[in-house]
Chain A
């Protein structure tokens, strides 16, 4: 009976420690995941860059509208990003950049013997006279 009691105590203490550590780990992970939205950190940021210290024109008007709506993307900003990305892709495509290419440079797209032999004959003006 004494052994049974000792066994139960050890089990309870062991399981308790494990669950306590798991709970601590969960708390740490939660804090890391939400570190941006912690109220005291937000307050600190605001203190670092108060409105009155901003230079003229900086962070006013449209720029404020773009960054101050948390969780929302301003439609104008979204449109500008979309256009910039599309323009970038178009330029890369014209250059046949690696990310846009389907075939490796230096290859024959239809690497058939027919084409390879044909091109050799097209560019070889020498004819065998023998």
Chain B
């Protein structure tokens, strides 16, 4: 018995050492932490319960038989974050470069299964050189097992991926299938094919960070939701995102004790939208004044900046926020903004988070590139996302709500529960100049002074349509409100809608326009 205990303790000690002191030192020299150091930062002190710590591979080819490390390059288990139960896995780059083999996959799949069955969030810390080549097709099949479980858990339990090192080839699809991807700047990268393959195939020289760095993914590809300057910051972001999410799709997100005045009316809101509708303003200013103080957590901040999405709190309750950003492309909806909004709306719906939409968009962005790129199918995703969502939905039209974009952005027909508008709202089929040319083109051409006549027609059109009252007459707007009243109005509306239950037709799944 004594010898048995000694052996167990020795193996446990070896598992704690990862790839050994030399590898750990190399990891630190790169500015990276080890898997266990990361978990210590992420989880509540003393809460981690490891499983599979002693599992090792059984490969006997290519010299791997001499490189057997307990844990096989991944640390898996359960823990608590701010007292909340979570399942975690952290790939250990110090063990065979964190390479992904069958045993590692078994451990990750086990924790995925347990997380799904227990209804608790799953957090993955990725730092792996890729598939373990020595294991051949088995390692590829092992990836498939993980991907399949990512899909099954999608929309059931929150899944958050943190990229803290290499993530290349097929490995990228696991994070891509999760709900949120956080990436550490400079020390991590993600791509399907690396710079060398790209050089061979296309002849183009491209650096690792340029091709798959955090800045690229957070501004161009949109793969990454949040970027962190270093690893502790990335883990802090995990805690913050989790603070707005429930444990699973049957629970509610945690409510914090209300700390901001429910009836607070910010007078600045009444003058925040410029009188001249060609002038822009920062919609984040509106959000900061409406929601609970400092509660807005922006997602996808650097990508598709003509739309703003994120989580916030109203009277302590979590809400999802979607807004057009007039400071970029005048708030017009393009391909990326459509994807961003649709994805976020569906995320909120999956986790029982009400959606508040602030509308100020002149429409979908016109252009050859947009049409060639498929703005039709991308724009349709917004319609799909809002229509399919059954959570409470409230919209506030701040200024422009034109054409198809008006319909898409949480209009009454998208099953929006309450539609508010500010007096500055302009709800119309199209802009005044374009509309007048179509409606009054002949009269303008025939006129002695075409410009003067056109100006008169434009003013007439604006008078008729560039206000919210016409829309309110026909029931498209439920109430025109003073901007300063927005906060209390939203809080009281949500109070009623909190128990909303809406059902969709029974089906296997819908077909998201792709």
A contact residues vs B (CB 8 Å cutoff)? 90-91, 93-98, 100-103, 105-110, 112, 114-123, 125-127
Contacts of B255 in A (CB 8 A): 96, 101-103, 109
Of the residues B85, B119, B249, B256, contact of A101 by C-beta under 8 Å: B256
**Is B443 interfacial (CB 8 A cutoff)?**
no
How many chain B residues have a CB neighbour from A under 8 Å?
Answer: 42
**Is B508 interfacial (CB 8 A cutoff)?**
yes
> Are A103 and B82 in contact (CB-based, < 8 A)?
no
21 pairs from A and B in contact (CB 8 Å cutoff): A91-B240, A93-B243, A93-B295, A94-B243, A95-B242, A96-B243, A96-B255, A97-B83, A100-B256, A100-B257, A106-B119, A106-B247, A106-B251, A109-B498, A112-B499, A114-B501, A118-B503, A119-B352, A120-B250, A121-B503, A122-B504
Known: A96-B244, A122-B504, A125-B507. A109 touches B257 (CB 8 A): no
> Are B390 and A108 in contact (CB-based, < 8 A)?
no
> Are A95 and B252 in contact (CB-based, < 8 A)?
no
Known: A94-B295, A119-B250. A102 touches B257 (CB 8 A): yes
Contacts of B258 in A (CB 8 A): 102
Contacts of A120 in B (CB 8 A): 250
> Are B82 and A109 in contact (CB-based, < 8 A)?
no
Q: Once bound together, how far apart are the Cα atoms of A2 and B255, in whole Å?
A: 81
Which of A110, A112, A115 counts the most B-chain CB atoms under 10 A from its CB?
Answer: A115
Contacts of A96 in B (CB 8 A): 82, 242-244, 253-256
* Number of inter-chain CB pairs below 8 Å: 101
Kindly provide the distance from the CB of B126 to the nearest chain A CB, expressed in whole angstroms: 22
Kindly provide the distance from the CB of A111 to the nearest chain B CB, expressed in whole angstroms: 9
**Is B440 interfacial (CB 8 A cutoff)?**
no
> Are A122 and B503 in contact (CB-based, < 8 A)?
yes
Besides A95-B82, A101-B255, A125-B509, 5 new A-B residue pairs in contact (Cβ under 8 A), listed by A number: A93-B243, A96-B255, A105-B84, A117-B501, A121-B503
Of the residues B82, B119, B250, B498, contact of A98 by C-beta under 8 Å: B82
Kindly provide the distance from the CB of A100 to the nearest chain B CB, expressed in whole angstroms: 5
Q: Once bound together, how far apart are the Cα atoms of A14 and B243, in whole Å?
A: 67
Q: Once bound together, how far apart are the Cα atoms of A42 and B499, in whole Å?
A: 65
Contacts of B85 in A (CB 8 A): 105-106
Known: A95-B240, A121-B503, A127-B506. A103 touches B254 (CB 8 A): yes
**Is B97 interfacial (CB 8 A cutoff)?**
no
> Are A110 and B499 in contact (CB-based, < 8 A)?
yes
Kindly provide the distance from the CB of B162 to the nearest chain A CB, expressed in whole angstroms: 16
Which of B243, B294, B507 counts the most A-chain CB atoms under 10 A from its CB?
Answer: B243
> Are B257 and A108 in contact (CB-based, < 8 A)?
no
Q: Which 4 pairs from chain A and chain B are nearest by CB? A: A118-B501, A96-B243, A96-B254, A95-B243
Contacts of A103 in B (CB 8 A): 252, 254-255
Q: Once bound together, how far apart are the Cα atoms of A117 and B503, in whole Å?
A: 11
Kindly provide the distance from the CB of B266 to the nearest chain A CB, expressed in whole angstroms: 19
Instruction: For A109, give the chain B residue with the smallest CB separation.
Output: B252
Q: Once bound together, how far apart are the Cα atoms of A95 and B258, in whole Å?
A: 14
Of the residues A94, A119, A126, contact of B506 by C-beta under 8 Å: A126
Contacts of A121 in B (CB 8 A): 501, 503
> Are A110 and B498 in contact (CB-based, < 8 A)?
yes
**Is B239 interfacial (CB 8 A cutoff)?**
yes
Q: Once bound together, how far apart are the Cα atoms of A123 and B508, in whole Å?
A: 11
Q: Once bound together, how far apart are the Cα atoms of A78 and B236, in whole Å?
A: 27
Task: List CB contacts (< 8 Å) of B475-514 with chain A.
Answer: 498-499, 501-504, 506-509
**Is B317 interfacial (CB 8 A cutoff)?**
yes
Instruction: For B259, give the chain A residue with the smallest CB separation.
Output: A93
Of the residues B83, B256, B503, contact of A93 by C-beta under 8 Å: B256
Kindly provide the distance from the CB of A66 to the nearest chain B CB, expressed in whole angstroms: 28
**Is B380 interfacial (CB 8 A cutoff)?**
no
| 0/1 string, B277-310, CB within 8 A of A gives 1 | 0000000000000000011010000000000000
Of the residues A93, A97, A114, A123, contact of B250 by C-beta under 8 Å: A123
Instruction: For A115, give the chain B residue with the smallest CB separation.
Output: B499
Contacts of B317 in A (CB 8 A): 109
Contacts of A101 in B (CB 8 A): 254-257
Contacts of B509 in A (CB 8 A): 125
